[in-house]
Amino acid sequence: MMADDDKKPKEEVEQLVYDFKCSSCAMEEKAHYKGKNPPFSRNLSLKYPSYVMKDPFSPPGKGEILVLGSDCSVCGISICINKECSFFYLKMYCIPCALNLNETFPIEVKSKLLQIKK
């Protein structure tokens, strides 16, 4: 009996969908947002602009999100958050770019990176 309808903003805003594809491992997923403050998750802001998808397993209205990946801050390719594909130090890097910049990173970051590389 409650007039619940006017409380809910209708989702008429056009949903942009990005085809996210990791350039490194070829993981493909639909992203609903790219940036730092996903509109469907209120109390969350990300450290860097990311491709974000709504968590399909999260109950509606919960605003759970999955971060898929990001763009490399150097070469701009899309990379997923898999640690074999991307490296985060202040910015997001793809592994080849991170390795290129290796010498400019602090020693502890560098050793972390070299562990990933194997």
- From candidates 65, 92, 94, 113, binder to Zn ion by CB under 5 A: 94
User: Which amino acid type is present at position 97?
Assistant: C
Tokens describing residue 96:
């080849």
What is d(CA 80, CA 28) in angstroms, rounded to the nearest whole number? 9
What residue spans of 17-91 are helical by DSSP H? none
Q: Nearest approach, Cβ of 96 to Zn ion (angstroms)? A: 6
Question: Within 13 Å of residue 18, how many CA atoms lie on the same side as its CB?
Answer: 19
Q: Nearest approach, Cβ of 114 to Zn ion (angstroms)? A: 17
List the beta bridge partners of residue 52: 33, 67
Binding track, positions 48-87, relative to Zn ion; x by CB under 5 A: ------------------------x-xx----x-x--x--
Under the binding rule (CB under 5 A), the answer on residue 25 touching Zn ion is yes
The residue ranges that bind Zn ion (CB under 5 A) are: 22, 24-25, 27, 72, 74-75, 80, 82, 85, 94, 97
